[in-house]
Structures are given as C-alpha cells and as structure tokens.
A = this chain, B = another copy of it.
C-alpha cells in the first residue's frame, strides 16, 4: 500500500493506493474529523461490482447509496439538482460525507455536489477506473457539463481523501483501460523520463490480457500498483504547486488542447478522452519538433509507446480547420490566445501561446486530417 500526500496547507490530504483495500476504507477514515453520515454516490454498474465490498467496511457510520444512471450525459445540473434533493430528504448536514464511488463521471458529479451542497461537505474520492485513479480523482477538479460545453460548470474542491483500489482495474473493458493509459504516458512526458522508460519496458503488462490468468494478473497488479502510485505522485506534486491552474498546473494539459477539440468535434463518441489526448500528445510533440524544440527520436518514442498501448496516433474523419476553430472555445484560452503545452524532451514540457496556425495546420494534415 502506498500513501501519497497532496500538500495544500489546510486542505492537504492523502491518496491511498493498494490492492483489494475497498473494505478497509471505514477503518482508514475513522480517526478523521468527519461526520458519521455517509452518502455513497455511484452508478448501478459500479455499485454491483464494488458497492457491497465498500459498504461492508463502513462500521460505525450510517450510510445510504444514491445511484446515478451510467453515462456522461447524466453529468449535468439536473442530476446534481436531484442529488441535492435526496441529500436534503435524508437530512445531510455540513459534516456529512459523500463518497464518490466510480469513474470520472461519478467523481466529477459527486464532487461538484459535495462542493456546492450547503457550500461544501466532506468528500472522499474512490475512483474505480484507471482514468479516474490517475487523473480525475486527484486535484480537486469537479464539474458538470452544460449544453454549451463539457465541464463548463464546476469548482475546485479538494477531497478529504482519495482511496484507490487497483483491483478495480481488472474489471475494466480494454478501451477504458487504454483511455487511462494516455494520461499515464502524459505524466512520463511532462515530468519523469525514468517513469516513461518504465512504461516502455512494461508495456506488455498494460492491457486487459494481463488480467486473464492468475499468474499474469499477479505480475500485472504489481506493475499497476507502481504505475498508479507514480502517476498519482506526479499529479499530486503539480497540483500542490498550483491548486487552481493559474500556472504550472497547465502542464497537465499536455495533449489536451487538441485532444479536447477532437473530443468535442466527434461529440465524445468517435474518440474517448484518452484516445483524443493521445492524438493531442502526438500533435503537440510534432509541433514542438517543427519548432525545433524537441528532437525526432523523442517524438518517435512517444508515438511508439502510445501505439504499443493501443492508442490512436492519427486523426480520422476531421479537418484541420475544424479542429483549429474548436480550440477557441476551450478553457485553455487566455485573453484570446491558445495555450499549448509542448515537450522539449521526455520529462520536460513548456507552455507556449505563440504558435503559428500554419504549423498546427500542417502537422494535423500529416496526421490524417483532410
């Protein structure tokens, strides 16, 4: 079991990473100054898989489970409003606890509800997808979608704890696992060359096949424990330095500028988050290479690792023009300029907003855009 501290002064908290630890959560939080009333917000699928195990360890608390239908389209103000209703009905108070048990949708939605119900109640993130474990559940970003944009409404709100059971990875569909891997690769590129090497050396463990037999599962879980803990550590370090994304934290957006545009343009269907980010990371690396900021070999290592992990490295069915137009509405625009995170080498990125549209356009064309 690993414990990683997110250093945020009076809002500091621990990330716990372990295998098969879901039923120890109650014990783990019993000494913290939290209320005794717990509301587990989850979806039917995750509830079926992990609800009972989590609940079995909540001795000394009263608890109630609130289910949200599966799917990103329920991550909206209407569903938040229905959760507020249920919390009021059950007399949830300021020291009650919300446990967000599930993937990114649940974490974002339950986190937003915790952030805004009575101006904030206790929140514990229990992420069950790789994407949520290495990214969404750490750092306090919460939010819901609005008809005009994804995560357009939200708040920075830190949990009291992030509690990660990597055994949950063994029930993920292959595509879900891959979408999280894109963020894992990102951490290597932006911050840690050794971690990137570790991923290159262990890429054969990083797929659902590794979970199929007890032997490979055991070996895989060891590797996953390292990967999830290391990713969490890098994310925690960046967040600690810049809680509300005014500066450094923007490096976490490596691959996300173009990635978000592609997700939005394909209506979150043709490409999921990690797939779009993978394409975005390739594009940003190639743009950096054009600008003579990074060498060709490093770009190839990024492209090869993503490909080995089954992630897309080319764009299909979108024009470069559409992508560039879509950049304008993204949250990463500051005073009309698009922010790009560009790698200088594996393990180091910089933020630029002076890119020539011509360069972006020509790289996207090379990558398959018409």
Taking beta carbons and an 8 Å cutoff, which residues of A are in contact with B? 35-36, 77, 81, 84-85, 88-89, 91, 93-95, 115-120, 141-143, 146-149, 151-157, 244-245, 328-329, 331, 333-336
Contacts and interface: CB of A to CB of B under 8 A. Distances in A.
Contact of A153 (B95, B116, B328): B116
Nearest to A36: B335
Contact of A334 (B88, B93, B142, B147): B93
Contacts of A141: 119
Contact of A155 (B77, B84, B120, B143): B120
10 contacts: A84-B146, A85-B146, A85-B147, A88-B152, A88-B329, A91-B328, A93-B336, A116-B153, A119-B151, A119-B156
Contact of A95 (B148, B244, B334): B334
B84 A331 contact: no
Nearest to A37: B335
Nearest to A94: B331
Given A84-B148, A118-B331, 15 more contacts: A35-B335, A77-B81, A84-B152, A85-B147, A88-B146, A88-B152, A91-B329, A93-B331, A93-B334, A93-B335, A94-B334, A118-B154, A119-B141, A119-B143, A120-B155
Contact of A244 (B91, B116, B119, B328): B119
A85 B120 CA distance: 24
A116 to B, nearest CB: 5
Nearest to A144: B116
B152 A118 contact: yes
A84 B151 CA distance: 12
A117 B119 CA distance: 16
A85 B333 contact: no
A353 to B, nearest CB: 13
A117 B153 contact: yes
B85 A148 contact: yes
A331 B118 CA distance: 7
